[in-house]
Every structure is written in C-alpha cells, then in structure tokens.
C-alpha cells in the first residue's frame, strides 16, 4: 500500500517534467529559468538531460560557477563537446575547467573533429571486452561497466591491448552462450565501421540501410575511437534536413529555433538571398526592354508573359527539389547526371506538350478569342503552345542539372533552391518566348 502511495506521489512530478518539455519552446528565457529552479533536483536533472543543446546552454549561461559545474558534470563527454560548440569556443577553457581530468581528455579529443562528422558525433564511453574472456567473466565485467555512464548497452566491443577493434557481440548473445565459452569464439568479426571524418549525412544513410542501434568509429590504424548511436544521428539528421529545407526556400540556415532568433538576425538571414534573387530578376526587365519593339507591335504577347515564365519556373523548381532530395537520400550520385538528364528530357518534353496543348485549347475555344487576341489568334495560340513546350523543357533541364553543377564545384546542392531556379528560368524563358514569337508571327504581327 505504501508503495502504491509512493507511485501516486511521484506521478505529478513526472507529469510536471513532461509538461515543461511540451511547453518549453513557447516560454520566454526568464520563464524557463524560473520553472527550472522550482523543480526538485531529480526532476531538474531529468529535464536538463532531455533538453536540446541550445536550451541547455541557455539555462547554464547565467548560472553560478558551482551550479554550472554541477550541470556540466552531469553530461556525457559528447554532450559536453556539443555544449562547447553551441556556446562558442571562447568559453571552451572555462567549461573544460569544470570537468574531471578523464572527462576533460575525452571532450578535448572529441573537439578535434568537426561537429557534423562521425568523430564529433561519437561517444567515447562504450562497453569494452577482451577476446580471451569467458562469457561468465564478461557478464561480471558488464555489471561493473553498466554502473558507469556508458552510452549504449546494446553491444559490447571486443578490443585487443592496443585498443584495436576485433569484433562485436550483442548482450543477448553473451547471456545466451554456454558457460565457459570464450568471447573470441562467438564474436562477430564482419563489422560495419565508420571513419572519424565521415559526414553525418552519409552516416544517416548507413543507419537507415542497416537498422543498427550503434556503429563503431574506427581510425585508419584500426583503433576504436567511439560509437555513434541512433539517437545521436537522428538529431543530426534533423538539423541537416532543416538546413536543406531553409536553403530550398532561399533562406540561410537559422542557428536557433524560429521563435528564439532575434528579429534583426532573422532579417539578416533572409535579406541576403532576397537581394541576390532581386538582382537576378532585374535581368527580366532587361530582357523585356530588349523585346520592347515586339511588345509594342503585338501587345497581345504581353498578356501571356506571367503564364509563360511561371510555368518554366514551376517546372524548374519541381525538378530541382526532386534531384536535391534524391541526392540527400543517396538515390542519385554525381556520376548519374547523364541518366537524370535523359529522364528529365523526356519528362520535360511530356510536361511541356501537356501544358502547351492546354494553353492552345484555352485560346482557341475561348468565346471572345478574336476580340481578346485579334484576328491572328490561331498563330498566337501556336506561339504560346510552342513557347510553353520550350520553356517547360528548359526549366526541367535547368532545375535538374543545377544541383549536379553545384556539387561538382564543391557547393551544397541544396543551394539550387526553388527561388534561384525560378529566377534563372524567368529570364531565359522570356528570351525563348519572344524568339518563338518572332519566328511564328514574322510578317504577320511582327
């Protein structure tokens, strides 16, 4: 009965932590600090460990030296490294001074790698075994290691005296093995490994392909440096996807959640791309000025300019979005550009013909077609149809090839954003439109 009462007493505290986590993003920094201080120590630790690195940094920013030391020592080495990278390297020495010598050495080793590489994502605390151990000795040793802050208890890694990775074994295999069996006889030697320099995007693909909970990080000498867990890479993939989505929308990646970033910072992140796109769109006015004579002679052509350029921009945006995502998932590689070109040529042609026929029918069957488009409305309809075929085809090719070009020269393919492709196609689309019009309507309206 007392146990039941204890469970009932603990339930509201658990709900408080969960409630705070759910409403955390909607609270102001002052409200977060106030709520955090009101929690009992056990609940405060649970909440702190559940928060993202940005929120942890915000909480300890104004903490006293002793409080900061208490919270930093609660974190695993890889989480401390993330915290240092979040706060900034100017606070690196201050935070490192709060750690015990062993953890400090581990954190310094992690900081030597890029934060988006396997070395920066890995944890150096994992379960180690020797190959000559029996399963009984291994189980006893596992109990000892489980009391320390190991990152994962799914697998144990078999290392030699030089810390080189020899094999891996699951806990289930250890506990189900017969007494006296040596670890070397049941460990798996065909091991999937990650080099410390591997990018988080590639790591994410490996996790999704093999459905593992953790993968060892091994250097060029075969020495095991740590493990990357599914939890670590899931957070990294979310950040990578967010960054790509921002770029697709023509926005610099935000360094903080939307509601937490300052208005001035928000404007800076968005103004750069808008200015570049605006300057690009200015060429549209230049192109229209070049064809001013044609527009004056056949004012009817101006009616279809929005239709023409928007169709090209939309087809280009579709193609670039599909290819960028396919690249991110590893479905398409740089060497596949010619295959993509062939597919997009066919797709662009079919889409262009479809839109062109719709545009043709729209003009030909409109009740007041002669009043709106003049006596040569049939030629105008043919001009619009041929222009749509050419512009949609061009937009599709441009949108699909631009990510390959950017990747070839070392840029992020996601920079081939929908607004950037649309701006490119707008300008070239006008040239195609008026060139087709000059050919079809020559001697009639032009």
Task: Please state whether beta strands 165-170 and 155-159 pair in parallel, antiparallel, or not at all (unpaired).
Answer: antiparallel
The runs of H, that is alpha helices, within 211-336 are 230-248, 263-290, 292-297, 305-328
Distance between CA 158 and CA 131 in Å, rounded? 6
Angle (nearest 5°) at CA 397 between 392 and 398: 95
Residue 399, token pair as written in the block: 């949108």
Mark 102-131 as b/e (b = at least 16 C-beta within 10 Å). Answer: ebbebbebbbebebbbbbbbbbbbbbbbbe
As a whole number, mean pLDDT of residues 233-257 equals 69
Does 294 score more than 50 pLDDT? yes
Judge contact between 413 and 323, C-beta under 8 A: yes
Has residue 324 got a pLDDT over 80? Answer: yes
Quick one: which H or E segment has residue 107? helix 101-111
Kindly report, residue by residue over 167-199, the tens digit of the pLDDT.
999 888 998 999 889 999 999 999 999 999 998
- Residue 24: which residues within 8 A CB-CB, separation 6 or more? 32, 51, 55
Q: What is the pLDDT of residues 140-154, one digit of tens each?
A: 888 877 766 565 667
R_g (Cα) of the chain, nearest Å: 31
For residue 209, what pLDDT is reported?
Answer: 83
pLDDT, greater one: 40 or 373: 40
Q: Are strands 128-129 and 165-170 parallel, antiparallel or unpaired?
A: unpaired
Residue 375 has pLDDT above 90, yes or no: no
Per-residue model confidence (pLDDT) at position 35 = 86
224-229/165-170 β-pairing: unpaired
> For the chain, what is the largest distance between any 2 Cα atoms, rounded to a whole number of angstroms?
99
pLDDT band at residue 3 using 50, 70 and 90 as cut-offs: very low
Q: Is the pLDDT reported for residue 243 higher than 60?
A: yes
In this prediction, residue 8 carries a pLDDT of 42
Residue 339: the pLDDT is 92
User: Do residues 309 and 387 lie in contact, with contact meaning Cβ atoms separated by under 8 Å?
Assistant: no
Q: Does the pLDDT at position 80 exceed 50?
A: yes
Please say if the pLDDT value at position 14 is more than 50.
no
Across residues 389-394, what is the average pLDDT? Answer: 94
Residue 156 has pLDDT above 70, yes or no: yes
Q: Write down the pLDDT at residue 390.
A: 94
d(CA 371, CA 261): 55
Report the C-alpha dihedral over residues 63, 67, 69, 71, rounded to 10 degrees: -90
Residues 403 and 320 sit within 8 Å (Cβ to Cβ): yes
Residue 105 CB partners (closer than 8 Å, separation 6+): none
- The pLDDT mean for the chain works out to 83
List domains and CATH numbers for the chain: 12-115 (1.25.60.10), 128-248 (3.10.580.10), 263-440 (1.10.357.20)
pLDDT at 417: 65
């Amino acid at each position: 009965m007392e146990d039941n009462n204890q469970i009932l007493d603990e339930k509201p505290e658990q709900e408080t932590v969960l409630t705070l986590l759910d409403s955390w993003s909607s609270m102001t920094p002052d409200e977060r600090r106030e709520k955090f201080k009101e929690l009992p120590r056990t609940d405060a630790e649970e909440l702190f460990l559940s928060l993202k690195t940005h929120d942890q940094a915000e909480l300890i920013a104004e903490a006293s030296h002793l409080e900061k030391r208490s919270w930093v020592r609660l974190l695993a080495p890889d989480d401390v490294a993330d915290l240092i990278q979040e706060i900034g390297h100017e606070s690196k020495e201050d935070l490192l001074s709060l750690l015990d010598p062993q953890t400090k050495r581990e954190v310094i080793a992690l900081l030597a790698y890029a934060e988006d590489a396997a070395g920066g994502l890995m944890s150096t605390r994992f379960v180690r075994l020797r190959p000559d151990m029996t399963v009984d000795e291994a189980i006893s040793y596992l109990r000892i290691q489980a009391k320390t802050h190991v990152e994962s208890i799914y697998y144990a890694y078999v290392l030699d005296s030089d810390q080189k990775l020899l094999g891996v074994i699951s806990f289930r295999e250890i506990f189900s093995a017969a007494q006296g069996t040596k670890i070397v006889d049941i460990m798996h030697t065909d091991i999937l490994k990650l080099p410390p320099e591997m990018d988080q995007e590639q790591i994410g693909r490996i996790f999704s392909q093999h459905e593992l909970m953790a993968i060892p990080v091994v250097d060029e000498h075969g020495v095991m440096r740590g493990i990357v867990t599914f939890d670590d890479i899931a957070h990294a993939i979310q950040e990578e996807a967010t960054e790509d989505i921002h770029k697709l929308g023509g926005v610099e990646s935000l360094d903080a959640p939307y509601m937490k970033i300052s208005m001035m910072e928000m404007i800076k992140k968005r103004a750069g791309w808008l200015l570049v796109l605006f300057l690009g769109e200015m060429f549209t006015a230049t192109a229209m000025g070049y064809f001013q004579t044609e527009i004056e002679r056949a004012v009817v052509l101006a009616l279809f300019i929005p239709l023409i350029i928007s169709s090209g921009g939309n087809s280009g945006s579709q193609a670039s979005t599909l290819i960028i995502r396919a690249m991110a998932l590893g479905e398409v590689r740089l060497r596949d550009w010619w295959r993509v070109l062939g597919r997009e040529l066919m797709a662009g042609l079919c889409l262009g013909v479809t839109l062109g026929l719709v545009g043709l029918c729209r003009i030909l069957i409109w009740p007041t077609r002669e009043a709106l488009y003049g006596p040569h409305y049939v030629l105008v309809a043919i001009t619009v149809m041929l222009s749509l075929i050419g512009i949609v085809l061009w937009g599709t090719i441009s949108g699909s090839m631009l990510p390959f070009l950017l990747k070839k020269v070392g840029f992020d393919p996601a920079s081939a954003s929908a607004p950037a492709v649309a701006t490119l196609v707008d300008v070239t689309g006008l040239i195609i439109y008026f060139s087709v019009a000059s050919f079809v309507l020559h001697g009639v309206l032009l």
